[in-house]
Every structure is written in C-alpha cells, then in structure tokens.
Amino acid sequence: MSLRERILAAAAPGRTDFTDQDRALFAELKAALNVGVIRAAERSTDGAWRVNAWVKQGILLGFRMGVLVDMSVDGTLRFFDKDTYPVRATGLGDRVRIVPGGSSIRDGCYVAPGVVCMPPMYVNVGAYVDEGTMIDSHALVGSCAQIGKRVHLSAAAQVGGVLEPAGALPVIIEDEVLVGGGCGVYEGTIVREGAVLAAGTVLTGALPIYDLVRGTVYRRPEGGALEIPAGAVVVPGARALTGEQAARWGLSVYAPVIVKYRDDKTDAATQLEEALR
C-alpha cells in the first residue's frame, strides 16, 4: 500500500488506540514532509493549486495519537507538547540560517536551503518554505502554509494559523512576494508571484479586494480561494458604508486596495534584503 493509503486507513474516524506500527507510519509521514517529498498543497502545470487532504489528515492523526510530555530544555525554559511533535531536527548541512534568539521550527515541515530565520519566528507543522525566503522577527508560518522562493515575510507577519479542515486549501504565497510588516494572510488566500503586500495589509476570504488599476473587485468564489494577482501592490484602505446612519456617523470599513502593479521602482525598493541573505 502507498503512504497515502496507509495514512487514510490509520486516520479512520473513531480510532482511539494506536500501535507502535501506527506511530512508525506517522514518523514516515513527517520524514517525507521534512524533505519536501510530499506537501499539503501542490501547484499544477496550469497554475492551479490543489490541496492534498490526505496529508492534512495525517498531520491531524499525529495530534490524535500523541501524548503530552515534558519537552523542557532546562529548569527555566519549560515546554509541554504532544510527543509526536518535537522540534524539527535541523543541522548545518541543511544550509538554513537560524539566527540565535528563540526561533522554533516544528517537526513535519520543509525548510529549504538558503532560508533565513530571524528571531523569534515560528514555522508550524505541514508548512513548506522554499529556497531563499526570509522569515523575519515575530513572523509566523502557520500549519500547512506554502511559501515560495525568495519571499520576504517581514516582521510580525502572519501567514495562516492553526490547521484548517483537511479539504481546505492552506494559505499560498508564491515566489518573489514581499509580505510587509504586520500583515495577515488567512483562510486559504493565494498571493500570486511577485505581489507586494504593504505593511498592515490583512487578507481573508471574506474581504473583497479593490483593484484601482484594472477597475475590478476580486472576491473569493464559492468553494474557491481569494487570489491576489501577480505583481499587484496591495495597501490597506477603507470604503464608506452605505445607509443613513453610517453616513451620519461617517463610518467606513477596512478594504485592501491594489494601487499599482510591480515596476522597476517597486523592485528597487525591495532590493535591500538581498544583502542580508
């Protein structure tokens, strides 16, 4: 049987008892995630992303079979978590820069050579972080989030969060994207290649995106994902609320706005980070 078939069998609903063989199977899944052989979502040749629900089911299986243990480093740094999810074993040969200062990478995620981790940051299980990406201080790469090549996740950026339902697409950040400080990208949003999210931009499946350049409003389709076009520069904005009371109070609500598409000036403004890799 394939790894997929064995994971689906082990993750059958209602199971509460797990054997050493089940634990070995879960360890096999994590090992495959750690080297990028399997991933929670993949991009097809036509650019569409699809979720590998069985991988996410396997990750959830690890929480079901795990037991709470003491993972403390010493008497001061106290940690208690499921024994199935220790810190990922990372060595010098992985060619990942993990700058001292309290960062953590959970077992069961892929972090490619050339990734830079500035303290403190966190990469959660199932995530995929591709070559040359920088994860800045206080940034979070949430469960199963997919991060492309040469992405910059600026300070305090949050990409996804806890594990979504097994069939739901995780957050996708494609190659060469700049995610500004304090940004939040949630609910399976796809940020296409080369886009720039200005500091403080928040993207969720419920928020429409107003494209001033193309005169278009982007919304999440039924059963699909909100997509930010390639090269779009998105900033936090606001739109007025309708209705007599809203007008009387001068109310508006948050609205992400595409104000331009990436050009030479934008590229020049994002070059500084290259010297830090």
CATH number at residue 240: 2.160.10.10
| One-letter amino acid of 45 | T
Report the mean per-residue pLDDT for the chain.
94
**What tens digit of pLDDT does each residue of 165-198 get?**
888 999 999 999 999 999 999 999 999 999 999 9
At 265 the pLDDT is 72
At 275 the pLDDT is 61
CA distance 273 to 130: 16
Helices H, strands E: what count in the chain?
5, 26
Would 256 be classed as within a structural domain?
Answer: yes
165 in helix, strand or coil?
A: coil
CA distance 122 to 100: 13
Please, which pLDDT band fits residue 269 given cuts at 50, 70 and 90?
low
Would 191 be classed as within a structural domain?
Answer: yes
H/E stretch holding 68 reads strand 68-70
At 15 the pLDDT is 85
Give the pairing type, strands 216-218 and 209-211.
Answer: antiparallel
Would 276 be classed as within a structural domain?
Answer: no
Would 142 be classed as within a structural domain?
Answer: yes
Token digits for 116?
Answer: 């830079």
Would 215 be classed as within a structural domain?
Answer: yes
236 in helix, strand or coil?
A: strand
**What tens digit of pLDDT does each residue of 74-100 get?**
878 889 999 999 999 999 999 999 999
Would 105 be classed as within a structural domain?
Answer: yes
CA distance 223 to 233: 26
Residue 179 half-sphere exposure, CB side, CA atoms within 13 Å? Answer: 39
Token digits for 241?
Answer: 């609320």
CA distance 234 to 202: 10
Would 55 be classed as within a structural domain?
Answer: no
Provide the residue range defining the domain that includes 173. Answer: 85-263
Kindly tell me if the per-residue pLDDT of 149 is higher than 60. Answer: yes
Tell me, yes or no, if the pTM score tops 0.85.
yes
Question: How many C-beta neighbours within 10 Å does residue 201 have?
Answer: 25
CA distance 177 to 136: 14
Q: How many domains, in total, are found in the chain?
A: 1
Rounded to 5°, the CA angle 107-102-202 comes to: 80
CA–chain centroid gap for 111, Å, is 12
At 218 the pLDDT is 98
Whether the Cβ atoms of residue 148 and residue 129 lie closer than 8 Å to each other: no
Would 188 be classed as within a structural domain?
Answer: yes
